[in-house]
Every structure is written in C-alpha cells, then in structure tokens.
Amino acid sequence: MNLTRKEFLKKSGNSLLLLTAASLFGSCSNNRGNAGKQKTGGTMVHYKIKKLNLKHTWTIARNSADYKNNVFVRIEKDGVFGIGEAAPNIRYNETPESTVDTIEKAKPLFQTYPLWHFVELGDAIRNVGEEQTAAKAALDIAIMDWVSKKMGVPLFQYLGLDKSKVPVTSFSIGIDTPEVVRQKIIEAEPYPILKIKVGKDNDEEMLDTVRSVTDKPLRVDANEGWTRKEEALEKIKWLATQGVEFIEQPMPASMFEDIKWLRERVEMPIIADEAVKRAADIPKLAEAYDGINIKLMKSAGIQEALRMIYMARALGMKIMLGCMIESSVAIAAAAHISPLVDWVDLDGNLLISNDPFHGLSLKNGKIGLNDQPGLGLEGEF
C-alpha cells in the first residue's frame, strides 16, 4: 500500500495514540493511569465581561469603536490567583459571547491538569475547538501569572529576562480628521515613536497632518487596507520619503503573492500582522515579509508567543510585539516577554479611560515593570 506523506503522518499519529493508550491501560496502568487522572483539587476559573471605554473613537481601515467589551479571567488555586484578559476581535470571528463559550469549554481541563503542568495544560487549551485565540490567551496569561506568583518572582524573571531591555513602545494614532489627528499628536507628546493607521481614503492627509505637527519616527499600519499591489507600491515609496521605519500589513493577508511582488520592489521592511497568528504560520511568511507582529490575542497567549519569537529569530526575521485594545492585564503579559523582541507597540491600555488594573509605569515611552510576583498588577476583578 502506498501512503502519501500526509496519510503516513496521520497513521503514525494514530499509532502513537494507540501506544499511549496501551501504556496507560497496560502493564504500567497504575502509575501512568493515576498521573493522567491526577486531580488538581480543583482550580477555580471565573470570568467577567468588562466594558473598556476608549478615550477617542478608535478608527482603523476595518472599523470604528467607542468602547470594547473584554473578558477577564481569574483562576485560583492554593490561595494564589492569576489574572488573564481576552480582547475579542471580530476580524478573527471573536465576540465576548464566543470567548465566554470557549472559556466554558476549556474549564474542565483545569480539573484534569495541575497548573504546574502548564505546558501540557496550555497545549490542551489551544486544542479546544477552532481558533478563538483571545479566549485561550486569557487562560494562558492567567496560568502564567499564577505560576510565577507561586514561584514568588515576576514573570520576566521566571522567564530569565532583563526588564531593563523592554523596548520603547510606539503610540498609535487612529484614522481621523486633521483636527482630531493634530489633537491626538499633541496628547501623544510623551511618546517618542508614533504608529499611524492608514488604509482608508485619506492616507496622504493623515501623513501630512502628522508631519505638520511632529518629526518623530513613524511606523505605519495599513491593516490590509490597500487591495491593489500597484497602489501599495506607490504608497510605500511615498511613505519612504516621510521618515517611515516600516509598513505593517499593507495588503490583505490572503494576497500573499502580491505582497511577495511588493517586497521585491521596496526597501522598507514589510511586517505581517493579520497574516500571522501562530508559530506554524511563520516559515511560509518568511518568503513575503521581513518581520512579524506577534499579539498574545492571536497566538493564544504567552507560551505560543515565545515559540513564535524563537521561530522568527531562527528565520532571521524582525519581531514586533503588538496588542489589541486591552487593559493593563494583557499589556503587562506582553511587556514581560518584550525584552526578546525588536519593536514594541503596547499602547492598548493607554487608549482607554477606565483601566481596571494598575501596576505598569511608563517613562520616556518605555513600559516599566515592577518587582512584584507574577504580572505585578493590582486591581478589581
């Protein structure tokens, strides 16, 4: 019988499963069986939807919003709790309701796996249903907060990282009228690097307005807004004359060949955002992009984000760490791993007016992490 490579891998996967089952129920059934069924004594998992109000109406190429409903998770075990956050994004078919639904589906796993087996627990959570990575990120962040709290060290220290190496964050300016853009740039005075959203029909007006007020380094994000490669080429060449460092997702993620075409014709680094979610996406993207924008909400949390960082590094790609509209919880989680990346765009908490948590500081555009265990946050769940 001739097997295709896929069939072979599938078959070997099945045999591995059979082997595992055999060892579980076979001669060593007592040890392995007990390990598999080990009761955690019950890790409590709670969640709450919280409305985060935006300081300004937030407009990007895709949509516009005045507030976001994010889902917060609190896990508790042995008198220690961990906090996580999901920022559901409609681009990825996520809503607060679908997020809650996924958390409910994942809850029983917290009875199967002890929190100390967080690698295995994390894998199991990522395998619950299809996608819904924001929900899974909330659980993973809460788990890693709990683990490092239990160890009595800040998360960055648990991961062996130097918090003084957190890169300066950019501050995002959403698409708006020249008057409002000018006002936003004035309010963004404390931030040394700006990220400008484009991709609607006023790109030149946006950039002209920004440049009329500031000469700060700029990064530009089109959020898949340009759909013709010739248009994208023209825009990027023009952006290069405006002191722009790189362009993020100039064209839709699905237009891979067009982005490859584009990359052969421009000097400016092209960064994948909507095109990349997890480590397995990265090798293919290396053909069309110079770097990737990792977001915990896309990667399903900290553990997969770390794998993405190592994968991208191995392929010689640049790494940016970004965010959605998020409170200090998800921003802190990303900040703790940010000493590993080149560029940081972690301003989600700065765009909202009612952050339920605190513990991060900001100095000269750099996020400051304290030395409290875990994420180092306090606040109201």
Q: Least distance from C-beta 220 to Mg ion, angstroms?
A: 10
Q: Least distance from C-beta 27 to Mg ion, angstroms?
A: 53
Query: Strands 244-248, 270-272: parallel, antiparallel or unpaired by DSSP?
Result: parallel
Residues 6+ apart with CB under 8 A from 289: 259, 263, 270, 271, 272, 275, 317
Q: Least distance from C-beta 197 to Mg ion, angstroms?
A: 8
Q: Which residue lies nearer to Mg ion by CB, 273 or 355?
A: 273
Q: Which residue lies nearer to Mg ion by CB, 101 or 245?
A: 245
For Mg ion, which residue has the nearest CB?
273
**CA 37 to CA 135: how far, in whole Å?**
25
Nearest to 341 by CA among 322, 362, 366: 322
DSSP state at residue 292: E
Q: Least distance from C-beta 345 to Mg ion, angstroms?
A: 8
Q: Which residue lies nearer to Mg ion by CB, 273 or 326?
A: 273
Q: Which residue lies nearer to Mg ion by CB, 203 or 248?
A: 248
Q: Which residue lies nearer to Mg ion by CB, 145 or 273?
A: 273
Q: Least distance from C-beta 269 to Mg ion, angstroms?
A: 14
Q: Which residue lies nearer to Mg ion by CB, 115 or 324?
A: 324
Residues that bind Mg ion (CB under 5 A): 221, 248, 273
Under DSSP, is residue 100 helix (H, G, I), strand (E, B) or coil? helix
DSSP state at residue 164: G
DSSP state at residue 226: -
> Which alpha helices (H) appear in 221-291, and where do they start and end?
229-240, 256-263, 282-285
Q: Least distance from C-beta 195 to Mg ion, angstroms?
A: 8
**CA 85 to CA 43: how far, in whole Å?**
17
